[in-house]
Structure 1
Amino acid sequence: MSTLGTGSRGGAVLMAALVVDSIGNGLFLPLQLVFFSQLTDVRLGLLGVLMSAANTLTLPIPVWTGVLVDRFGAFPLVVAAQLMQGAGYLGYDRVHGPVGILLATTLVAVGVRVFWSSVFTAVADFADGSPSTRTKDTWFAWANTTRTAGLSAGGLVAAAAIADGSDGAYRAVAHGSAAAYLTAAVAIAVFVRAPGRVRGTGDPQAGYRTLLRDRVFLAFTGVNTVFATTSMMLALGLPVFVLDGLHGPRFLAPAILVGNTVLLAALAAPVIKRLAPYRRSRVVIAAAVLWAVWCLLFAALSPTLRIWLVPLLAGAALLFTAAELLHAPVSMALATGLAPAAARGRYLAVFQYSFTFAGMVAPAFFTTLFEAGRALPWLVLGAVNLLAALAMRLLEPRIPAAAQHEERPSGDDRRLPKAVGP
């Protein structure tokens, strides 16, 4: 891909800004419903409707964001998204009725959707011009690591606020989230630069018409919806599964989730470095198989295991973590490799719909099947992952070789690059 101007600079600042952004996300992710139920008189049922409506209104956002990214670049959209989220969280402290809550939550939801529809293009653009020796797979792994670390740090503070339970604690979290987003926006706007690339020109719909004819990319996006749904299932289903399905101790699910987070943050970059020689499609297939085995092991667990329950559950969860380590950065790198340079923003924005639809499907999928039987959601999910692995194997011959690997420059890429001068 041809680039214009100087190389990328500010890699360390970019990663640090993503940490700060994720801290803001982690601070407020567990608090939205309890925040408004504590500080306003709006009933809980209506709050749920308002938040669902806000998220539904944002469904067309990725399509528009993709066009803007290809026309103006990804970083302005990333900064705008963070500013919107910061402003929205400041508004949380100042709204009291349904209309105000809808407006504030919609502003945050739009910012979230714009961010995830542009940030991976920003990372890919930065990697194209980076003086570092990292491949895109490694940059995506570092981005995933920083996001995980930030979410964890923010979640710990949010847990403290919930434990405190006072209005002041909740308001402090809203202000802290706003400050995190605004700080990240300023840092990226001031210190991070990436080279220009060939932008989409002409009819904005032309890129989407091309995308809709790209059967390989659309097939991969569809299959990735299965993987995106699976990636949500540990956090979504484990607490209910442990307490109601296995009658296990209350500490067990949080401990496993913390362990999962720590391992993801510590191992993402080293694992991706070792996977460089392998085809990306094969890595994704391996992740699907690991997830399927994890599901089958979870399905086999029962309360009768007694003292064996804790080690078996923790051991099975390690398979989930291993699959997530493989899938998260490699799937994004493969989607980037399948995207034409001039339409990268549109392609990666559409790819995010696999995660959007997964978020819509996952809660109903788990709760409906779990009510029918403790093992049923895991059995069905395991079978679906095996089918998705087969689909990836059938798709593999049609994936261009250039999308399967990225030429890796020589040198040491074990550390984040320091920001370099213009």
Structure 2
Amino acid sequence: MPADDVTSQASPGTSRGGPVLIGALVVDSIGGGLLMPLSMVFFTRLTDVPLALLGVLISVSQVLTLPIPVWAGALVDRVGALPVVVGAQLLQGLGFLAYPHASGPVGIFAAVTATGFGVRFFWSAVFTLLADYVDGRPAAASAGRRAPTKDTWYAWSNMARTAGLGLGGLATGFVVADGRAATYRIVAYLSAACFFAAAGTIGVFVRAPRLVHDQDAGAGGYRALLADRPFLGLIGLNGVYALSSMMLGLALPTFVLTGLRGPGWLTSALLVGNTVLISLLGAPVVRYVAGFRRTRLLVAASVLWAGWAALFATFGPGHLGWVVPGMVVATLLFTAAEAVHAPTSQALAAAVAPPRIRGRYLATFQYSFTLAGIVGPAFFGTLYGVHRSLPWLALAGLNLASVGAMLALERRLPAAALRAPATATA
């Protein structure tokens, strides 16, 4: 039974603190944006550990986090998502608190591993937390009032995350420009404080109870998930979307600098513009497209990404007079795709998931983003080394191929999961 159609034995109105939750996610993202991009530079600046060894330590710590979504999903289904999210934020805070005190390889490895575990637990649980909140929120005040759906709440969370990361990332620029060791330490403590504040706020003011579902709502664990071929297909297709979503930030600086030989401000302007638009327009876009099938919205996002990538493939050096406005138009296509994809994909995954094991489903869904993060640098670097247009052409081709695959998958997904509910029920 889809999660949007949960039959719960809990009374409506047991959730509370939704706006506080979104605000806490902004603070959480500021904490991540402050220090995550500086991890390598931080230890290079404050310790004598060689850069090559630092890279190995950080990479190994990230590999160790790969099984965490499996554990986190089972834990969320057992104890609920809220304590897992709070624990993950506390773990990240402790990790960043240890950064200034790590002077050797062992300390560095412990600090980055703690933060890496916290990050993975957080992303494996937060979408279930939002889904639990929506299922237990107060009913609409009147029959004519449309309450926010999971799609809208996921859009708000994406806006909050984007805004927080943008603010945190802006601060990192000042840290790098300042360059003093004391400034790096202060930022580490501020980052830790953000995570502690977010955890405390959510733990005290937010309630998103794990509802008691009917016994036949979807028994089974990971065995049932692995037998759910349509959901596995959705994870695979979302890997293409996740790869597309990360490619702007990953590839744009290199493409502008070496492929176009363009000015440095062009990269900053495009990335900042994308961040601002997502931060402001995510939820309005979701409300505007609320009547469409979620699968068709993902198809639209893939077409937009294909158009963005195809335009980038045409850009070359020496023609900045038309390349710059062309890149602005292309980035607007990317932004529209991202605004539609982020909340819609999570809402579709939550709607497909059997309620009793929704934690496992949504945690496993995050592997599409994890694998895209692993594949992305090699995908871009290898193809870009052949020709500057090749990664963009390949990405456009992947997105166009995903259109037919998603339309085929649509017929195998539960009909109730394809659209956001017309009215929200507690």
TM-score > 0.5 by shorter chain: yes
Distance in 2 between the 1:67 and 1:400 partners?
23
In structure 1, C-alpha distance between the alignment counterparts of 2:65 and 2:321, rounded to whole Å: 47
2:243 is aligned with 1:220: no
Mean Cα displacement is larger for which, 284-293 or 1-10?
Answer: 1-10
> 1:262 and 1:77 mapped to 2: Cα distance?
30
Distance 2:213 2:258 in 1: 52
Distance 2:274 2:204 in 1: 34
Relative to structure 1, the CA distance from residue 200 to residue 83 in structure 2 (aligned partners, 3 Å threshold; closer, same or farther) is farther
For 1:288 and 1:200, the matched residues in 2 are separated by 37
1:271-286 aligned at under 5 Å gives the runs 271-286=285-300
Letter in 1 for 2:397: A
Separation in 1, partners of 2:424, 2:398:
39
Determine whether 1:400 maps to 2:414: yes
Q: CA deviation at 1:387?
A: 1.0
Distance in 1 between the 2:368 and 2:239 partners? 4
Are 1:370 and 2:384 matched, yes or no?
yes
Residue identity matched to 1:208: Y
Paired residue for 1:150?
A: 164
Aligned to 1:4: 10
Q: Percent identity?
A: 56
**Cα RMSD after superposing both structures:** 1.5
In structure 2, how many angstroms separate the alpha carbons of the residues matched to 1:200 and 1:83?
33
Q: Which position in structure 2 is the counterpart of 1:48?
A: 55
The question of 1:140 aligning with 2:154 is answered yes
Taking the TM superposition and a 5 Å limit, the aligned residue runs for 1:58-137 are 58-131=65-138, 133-137=147-151
CA distance in 1, matches of 2:57, 2:402: 34
Deviation at 1:371, TM superposition (A): 1.0
Equivalent residue in structure 2 for 1:260, among 248, 253, 274: 274
- Contact 2:74 2:360 (8 Å CA) reproduced: yes
Residue identity in the other structure for 2:230:
V
Letter in 2 for 1:137: D
Q: Which residue, out of 180, 184, 187, partners 1:166?
A: 180
Q: Is the 8 A contact 1:200 1:207 kept in 2?
A: no
Please report the TM-score for the alignment, with normalisation by the length of structure 2.
0.94
1:353 aligns with 2:359: no
- Give CA deviations for 1:121-161 in whole Å, capped at 9, x if unaligned: 00010011223610000000000000011001111111111
Give the equivalent residue in structure 2 for 1:298.
Answer: 312
Contact 1:3 1:196 in 2 (8 A): no
Match of 1:384 in 2: 398
Kindly tell me the number of residue pairs found equivalent between the two proteins: 408
Q: Distance in 2 between matches of 1:346 and 1:368?
A: 34
Partner SS, residue 4 of structure 1: coil
Deviations 1:49-86 (A, max 9, x none): 10000000011100010001001000000000000000
C-alpha displacement of 1:214 = 0.3
Superposition deviation, residue 170 in structure 1: 0.6
Corresponding residue of 1:318 = 332
Separation in 2, partners of 1:311, 1:164: 33
The Cα offsets for residues 336-362 of structure 1, whole Å up to 9 and x where unpaired, read as 011000000000000000000011000
- Could you tell me whether the CA contact under 8 Å between 1:198 and 1:341 is conserved in 2? no
Deviation of 1:178 after TM superposition, in Å, equals: 0.1
C-alpha displacement at 1:401, in angstroms? Answer: 1.2
